[in-house]
Structure 1
Amino acid sequence: MRALPWAWRRCMRLTQLAPCPNVPRLRATHAVFVAHGLHRHTYALSRLVLLATGSAEDDGAADGSGGDFLSYAGLLLRHAEAPPNAFIFNTLIRAYARSPHPTAALFFFQLMRQRHHHLLALSGEEEQAAAVAPDYLTFPFVLHGCSAAQCPSPGLQLHGLLCKNGLAAGDHYVQTALLRLYVTFMELVPGGAHNLFDEIPRRDVVHWDVLMNGYLRRGLPCEALQLFRRLLLSGAQPDEVALTTALAACARAGALREGRWIHCYLRDNAGELRTDDAHICAALVTMYAKCGSLDAAREVFEMAPHRCRFLWSALIGGLAVHGLAEEAVGCLRRMQEQDGLRPDGVALLGALSACAHAGKAEEGRRLLAEMEALYGVGRLEEAVELARAMPMRPLASVWGSVLAGCRAGGAVELAELAVAELEKIEEELGAGAADGAHVQLWSIYMGANRAGRKTTGRSEIELDGVVSSFVSGDGEHPLRERIYETVHHLLAGRGGLLAVEDEELCPEEGPGYLFDDMSSRSR
């Protein structure tokens, strides 16, 4: 049966409209295709599969129906009367790789490469269809699925296959996907990401971004900054992602000097990336605040021409680090009065954290009550239930937000649950996911008179281009006498901070000096 031209036009228009709001609507669209006989055409099948997966990714599927859309898309393939092509498989693999069930992407890739059965409804017979050859778009989607599903073995096997057919060395998207895979499993394959990065013949800024971000997420800020130095020396132009990642690494390592150099470089040499970019401004504010230069953080914030929510959140978070509760709460009100912005969860939790750091429990409770009245927040039990009910596993930031709320509200049991979840995430993703969680839990115990001995923590600070790490009570540190002398001066109230003369850091010095002494950092 051959479909008429008007039937083709009608059915194609149905697939080009907005994504389906629900599965019954998708089923009705499928019925129109069947009524006109288009379900026996590969191209029509590809449009239906694309409509189903697009509906799953659309915001309209946020009610939990996204999985139903994907299941229906899979059924369209499994019971198709038309031979599937690479586009159909790629669409399904891509959709599942980005879904809460990424292992299904590996299943469809396996199905793609083998001879499989499909049904012929009219004859009632079952016929074997030939395997479909993967193309250059298939492999990045499959590699993404391996990373998302935490399945290193299939990804490493696929790397071997790509080396045989030459795609590992010749295709940009495949190289980027492979690099993301090795970054994801950096602990399982030590040095794999770095070695693969060095083997890429024509690196662009995306490759630098992926590896830098991987180092930072694994709690290796100094390695991320060393890579940023290599990026500058290579003559490549860093993009917004590279610059914000480098600034975040400076904040993590306490490397104020390098952060200032990046700020100066950004102001003078970054071309279209200017310091009035909101993301860059937020990264600068966070870097200066976490490195102890709060005045510089305020200056960057006040000079920003466009102040959005995450820029306000960055300043409030910086004030929270320094325990400036009154100023943090004041910023919370300023963002509403001056810019007409409703505080988001990050800004609200930052203000609560500032109250907790400053020991102003009453101010924190008053703010929490105000937040609950105005924004419906403060119901910690509901927040935990929501996190557990998520179709995908919650990120560390979700449980970190719950923990911050527990600290403000003194909810010990819920805080213990949040820390346990953060520890699970840290085991899977590496160091950094549970940073500071035990310190916050200890503070909650203190508030509930349940504190025991606090575990010794490690601090890092940069001075004269050298990042040093030390722990409380460390009797082996080579500068311990000067450290204790400075602490005694501070406690006595007569020494103040030791004066340190800062040179103006200019890009003309060149990036070569950046982190020359970073290798001397003690671990």
Structure 2
Amino acid sequence: MEAWKRCISLAQSCSNMRQFKAIHALFIVNGLHLNNYAISKLISFCALSNSGSLSYASLIFSQIQNPNLFAYNTLIRAYSRSSTPQLALHYFQLMLDDENVGPDQHTFPFIISACTNSLWMLLGKQIHNWVLKNGVASSDRHVQTALVRFYAECCAMGDARKLFDEIPNLDVVQWNVLLNGYVRRGLAPEALNAFRNMLVSGVEPDEFCLTTALKGCAQLGALQQGKWIHEYVTKRKWLEADVFIGTALVDMYAKCGCIDRSVEVFEGMTKRNVFSWSAMIGGFALHGHVRKAMQCLERMQVEDGLRPDGVVLLGVIMACAHAGLQEEGQFLLENMEARYGILPKHEHYSCMVDLLCRAGQLDEALKLIRRMPMKPRAAVWGALLSGCRTHNNVDLAELAARELLMVGNGDGTEEDGAYVQLSNIYLAAQKCEDACRIRRMIGDKRIKTKPGCSLIEVEGEVNQFVSGDISHPCLAQIHEMLDLVSLQHSYKLAFHTTWSSCDEMELTFQP
């Protein structure tokens, strides 16, 4: 007993795999590799430790004659959050085939997590049905939370909400999983509604819930609700110093049009990370303060000792694009690796193409695309196509549309956008026959353009208006008010025209 305890203690103090393998050799010399409990502890350390090796842990597992449940769960857990979550299913299947063990309440959250990370919708539903059918851990909170997260990540928010509503005594973690699912799917109104329901139910939000709710406010432009959360945070000083809440506030105020409040929150943060600087740079870019965005590159290094990452540099290039600073943007792109040790990625080139197109340098944009070290994706060709529409370049638009359709990878949204953009370009160039041809293709493919949408916040509630939507309960009153406003405008215009005509008559008949 004392021997394996000493060996486990030595294993836990390992800082690299060379030391760990030496401890493993001690296990074998002392015959501890035959002790299931001891060897499962060794597997746990090797699979879950930052200094361990998951593949080596699998090798140790393969040499056990009768693995226990702990060893199975350890590998399922480790692989579920790895880059190869499908291997978690492999060990889950081995467990099911083993007559000596069976899954318990710890197994299901891990295997559901593997389905989530792999987006295995069918398998996840099968495991959900199995849990319900066998009554195994069906009331376990960890299993319930894992299932809500699974459906949310697989874009099945209806199923996630249905399951969520069936959970009694919801905790803050489950609320945050639902909120995060709504925000990630772009369903900010539903997220903020759920946040209000959480408060009404008496569950106090933690820093994760507040950060997620602020992201929803930023998406929706819900300034009043964002301000309320800010006041809530301020009253609870233990949350005020949270760097993630501070960053979310900076982002929310900037996206809601209050760049001064955004700067005020940012400058008052006691601790800032790269994400905080990225949010502030993005805010400056959004509001056209390109010089301030560029100054943040130096400030973050001098004030906080932080090196900018790819996201920060992308924000600065985006600021240059909004301000039309072509030379500055090109200089930053060309010197990213030399100055900051960061290789430009696809999104950096896409932003630079957008900058060149805004400046009317369509040929330069095409040359940059041809020089890219990676294969251009749809975003790059989409930026070029957009620039062609602005500058009425039909020939280049046809090239960009062809390339966009080739690299769309079956993305219906990209394909629809390409056809609609090309049709509008033909119309602007008065090439009606070509425009009609594209319009017929749009009709044959049953492509529907995304309707226009506007948002307005009144007394803390955000109202959304979508073009063509006739479902609003006050539709008749809205049209009556619009008719009244239109009529008043017509009267004012007629009155102004009459008096202008009188003035001209007086001038005409003056001696």
TM-score by length of 2: 0.72
Which structure is larger by alpha-carbon Rg, 1 or 2? 2
Given that 1:255 and 1:467 are in contact with CA atoms closer than 8 Å, whether structure 2 keeps it comes out as: no
In 2 relative to 1, CA 371–215 (structure 1 residues): closer, same or farther, beyond 3 Å? Answer: same
Write the distance in 2 (CA, Å) between the matches of 1:366 and 1:29. 53
Contact 2:86–2:114 (CA under 8 A) maintained in structure 1 = yes
CA deviation after TM superposition for structure 1 residue 178, in Å: 1.3
Equivalent runs, 1:317-328 vs 2, <5 Å: 317-328=282-293
Q: Deviations over 1:292-345 (max 9, x none)?
A: 121221222222233333222211111111232112112222333444433233
Tell me which amino acid in the other structure corresponds to 2:116. S
- Give distance in 1, aligned partners of 2:333 and 2:258: 29
2:284 matched to 1:300? no
Structure 2, unaligned runs of 5 or more: 357-364, 399-420, 425-448, 468-474, 487-511
Alpha-carbon distance in 1 for matches of 2:303, 2:388: 38
The whole-number CA distance in structure 1 between the counterparts of 2:298 and 2:482 is 43
1:72 lines up with 2:46 in the alignment: no
Deviation, 1:158, is 1.9
Task: Find out whether 1:221 has 2:215 as its counterpart.
Answer: no
3-state SS of 2:205 partner: coil
In structure 2, do the counterparts of structure 1 residues 451 and 460 end up closer, same or farther at CA, with 3 Å as the change threshold?
A: farther
Counterpart pick for 1:109 among 92, 114, 118: 92
Closer, same or farther in 2 for the Cα pair 1:10/1:237, shift >3 Å? closer
Distance 1:289 1:481, change over 3 A: farther
> CA–CA distance in 2 between the matches of 1:225 and 1:157?
31
Q: Is the alpha carbon distance of 1:78 and 1:30 closer, same or farther for their aligned partners in structure 2, counting shifts above 3 Å?
A: same
**Residue number among 11, 15, 20 corresponding to 1:15 in the alignment:** 11
C-alpha distance after superposition, 1:169-226 (max 9, x if no partner): 5322111111111212233xx6210011111011001011001101111121111111
Q: Is the 8 A contact 1:96 1:105 kept in 2?
A: yes
* Structure 2 SS opposite 1:191: helix
CA distance in 2, matches of 1:141, 1:279: 27
Alpha carbons 1:365, 1:408 under 8 Å: kept: no
Q: Is the 8 A contact 2:384 2:397 kept in 1?
A: no
- DSSP 3-state at the match of 1:461: strand
Question: Using the alignment, how far apart are the partners of 2:135 and 2:348 within structure 1?
Answer: 45
Of 327, 332, 336, 1:367 maps to 332
* Aligned 1:40-119 pairs, distance under 5 A: 40-55=34-49, 58=50, 69-81=53-65, 83-115=66-98
Residues 446-467 of structure 1: per-residue CA shift (max 9 Å, x gap): 8997457478875543331333
Letter in 1 for 2:231: C
Q: Does 1:257 align with 2:243?
A: no
1-structure distance, mates of 2:31, 2:335: 61
Q: Tell me the equivalent position of 2:208.
A: 241
Q: CA deviation at 1:402?
A: 6.1
3-state secondary structure, aligned to 2:83? coil
- Once residues 284 and 482 of structure 1 are traced to their aligned partners in structure 2, the CA distance between those partners, rounded to angstroms, is 40
Which of residues 24, 30, 36 in structure 2 aligns to 1:36?
30
CA distance in 1, matches of 2:219, 2:323: 22
Query: Secondary structure in 2 aligned to 1:307?
Result: coil
The equivalent residue for 2:322 is: 357
CA distance in 1 between partners of 2:189 and 2:337 (Å): 41
Give the 3 Å change call, closer, same or farther, for CA 407–265 of structure 1 in structure 2. same
- Secondary structure of the corresponding residue to residue 272 of structure 1: helix
- The alpha-carbon deviation at position 253 of structure 1 amounts to 1.4
Post-superposition offset of 1:481: 10
Distance in 2 separating the partners of 1:170 and 1:17: 38
Structure 1, unmatched stretches of 5+, are 62-68, 116-129, 384-398, 423-436, 485-523
- Judge conservation of contact 2:104–2:137 (CA < 8 Å) in 1: no
Identity of aligned residues (%): 44
Gap change, CA 1:415 and 1:236, over 3 Å in 2: farther
Separation in 2, partners of 1:415, 1:444:
22
**Aligned residue in 1 for 2:277:** 312
DSSP 3-state at the match of 2:238 = coil
SS in 1 for 2:463: strand
C-alpha separation between the residues in 1 aligned to 2:383 and 2:483? Answer: 30
**Preserved CA contact (<8 Å) 1:256 1:462:** no
Please name the residue that 2:151 is paired with: 182
* Alpha-carbon RMSD: 3.5
Amino acid at match of 1:257: Q
Check 1:366–1:36 CA distance in 2 against 1; reply closer, same or farther (3 A cut).
same
Instruction: Tell me the distance in 1 between the aligned counterparts of 2:389 and 2:20.
Output: 55
Please state which structure has a larger fraction of its residues in helix.
2
User: Could you state the TM-score of these two structures normalised by the residue count of structure 1?
Assistant: 0.70
Contact map agreement 2:254 2:283 (CA 8 A) in 1:
yes
Q: What is the deviation of 1:28?
A: 4.3
For the residues of structure 1 that align with 2:270 and 2:483, how far apart are their CA atoms? Answer: 46
**Partner secondary structure for residue 239 of structure 2:** coil
Partner of 2:255: 290
Give the conservation status (yes or no) of the 8 Å contact 1:278–1:304.
yes
Q: Could you tell which deviates more after superposition, 352-361 or 296-305?
A: 296-305
Secondary structure of the 1:285 match is helix
How many angstroms apart in 1 are the aligned matches of 2:224 and 2:376? Answer: 35
State the 1:400 CA deviation.
Answer: 4.2
- Aligned counterpart, 1:491: none
Hey, what's the Cα distance between the residues in 2 that align with 1:482 and 1:21? 78
**How far off is 1:370 after superposition?**
5.0
Give the equivalent residue in structure 2 for 1:157: 126
> Any idea what SS the aligned residue of 2:17 has?
coil
1:344 partnered with 2:309: yes
Letter in 2 for 1:331: C
* 223, 239, 252: which one aligns with 1:273: 239
- How many Å apart are 1:480 and its aligned residue? 9.2
Distance 1:298 1:443, change over 3 A: farther
Mark the CA change 1:342 to 1:234 in structure 2 (over 3 Å): closer, same or farther: same
1:420-445 CA-partner distances (Å, limit 9, x unpaired): 4x8xxxxxxxxxxxxxx876454676
RCO comparison, higher one (Cα < 8 Å, 6+): 1
Matching residue's letter, 2:63: H
Q: Residues 221 and 8 from structure 1, CA distance in 2 versus in 1: closer, same or farther, beyond 3 angstroms? A: same
Match status 1:132 vs 2:98: no
Partner of 1:143: 112
Q: Contact 1:253–1:460 at 8 Å: present in 2 too? A: no
- Give the one of 436, 460, 464 matched to 1:468: 464
Q: Which residue of 2 aligns with 1:506?
A: none
